[in-house]
Structures are given as structure tokens and as C-alpha cells.
Amino acid sequence: MIYTSIFHNETSENTYLLYDENTKNGVIIDPGCKIEKILEMISENGVDIKYILLTHCHYDHIASLIELREITHAKVVTGDNGSSNIGDIEKNLSPYGLGYEIKDISSDIILSDGEKLTLDGLNIKCIYTPGHTNCGVCYLCENELFSGDTLFLRTVGRWDLPTGDYETLKKSIKEKLYTLHDELNVHPGHGDKTTIGYEKKFNFSVKL
């Protein structure tokens, strides 16, 4: 697996590209960056996008979703509740964050907790981590965890938006993420990467 990312200055969001180095088939995780930048990243790496994976429904992670799906014909993948949330303007918050509505869109594939999506040499495991939203998931591929807005470097995602809940978020992190091995790299939806072991020691938002 090869992965790379781009950073959206306006929302500080990270959009990730993962692909099989032999076939150059790949996936985009959270297309929140401007579509031109995403397409440039795809072109520079020569990748054919087969799936668009969403960690949750918020506008800053799906801003380019509709355009990217139309251009690539990739299938949209979420966890449970994600399919209904991404097209719900009261939950994706698009009118407030973008100034226009993202609606009338749903998932093509809904993964169960622990279910894997396989694409050539990529085996991507979906881990349910509600709390930031009720549709939050993380994606695990080899030694790389893409954590969306569940877990950040030394902090966690906010829980005061629709469907968020702090106790649920803490439980997700403690029971689903902190049980993974300490050397696992964590690539969050915002900010710099970290590791599970580092967060267990220094993330005071959620302590063991």
C-alpha cells in the first residue's frame, strides 16, 4: 500500500489517497479538500479511484464528494448511519460551513463494524467509533489508521454537534482504538499524525 495526503487550508482538513502500488487502483478517504487539488493528487500518482471512504458526515470531509463521484464513478463507502447522515443538511452542516447544501446523496456500500473492504492488495478494515457523530468510523490498513475526527494528536474530536456524545466518544477510543498496538500510525482528519502509544500516554482528553 502507498498513501499520501493533501491539506485544505480553509478547514485544516486532511484528504487521503491510498492505492495498490502494482495496479494503481485506490481509494480517497474524506474528500474535503477542493476538487482541483484532489484530482491533481490522483493524477500525479496515476491512480484509478474505485472507492470514496467517509469517516463521518460533516461538510468539511465531504465538500468535494459529489463532484469526485461524478468524475471517477467511484462507490461511496460509509459505516452505519453514514448513508443517511451525509445527505442530511442538519447533520452534515453544509449550509453553515459551506454556504450551500449537500443533499440527495447516500452510500453505495455500508460496512459493518470489523468488516473489510478489499481492493487488490489493499485490505481496509472499518472500525466503528461513534461519539464525534453517531456515524463515525476509522479505517485500518496495514500499520496505518485513518481516524477522521475521532482521535487527533493530543486531543479528540468535538462532541457538541448533532449526534455527538462525549461518553460515547471516550468509549470508542478506549475500547476500539487504545486496544490496537502502540506502534500503529494514526492519520487524523485534522492536524499532524501520531501513534496509538503516544496518545495513550499524552492525550489528556481520554486517559486509560
Taking 50 as the pLDDT cut, the residues of the chain under it are none
What is the predicted pLDDT for the residue at 208? 65
Q: Could you list the beta-strand ranges (E) of 142-200.
A: 144-148, 151-152, 155-156, 185-188, 194-195
Is the residue at 151 inside a domain? yes
> Total domain count for the chain?
1
> Distance (Å, rounded) from C-alpha 118 to C-alpha 33?
25
Does residue 81 fall inside a structural domain? yes
Q: C-alpha cell of 119?
A: 481492493
Which residues form the domain of 78? 2-113+123-202
In a domain, 30, yes or no: yes
The closest of 200, 203, 155, 153 to 181, measured between CA atoms, is 200
Q: Classify residue 178: in a domain, yes or no.
A: yes
pTM exceeding 0.85? yes
Residue 61 falls inside a structural domain: yes
Q: What is the pLDDT of residues 66-121, one digit of tens each?
A: 999 999 999 999 999 999 999 999 999 999 999 999 999 999 999 999 999 999 99
CA distance 30 to 55: 7
Mean pLDDT of the chain: 97
Residue whose C-alpha cell reads 493528487 in the numeric block: 41
For residue 52, the domain's CATH number is 3.60.15.10
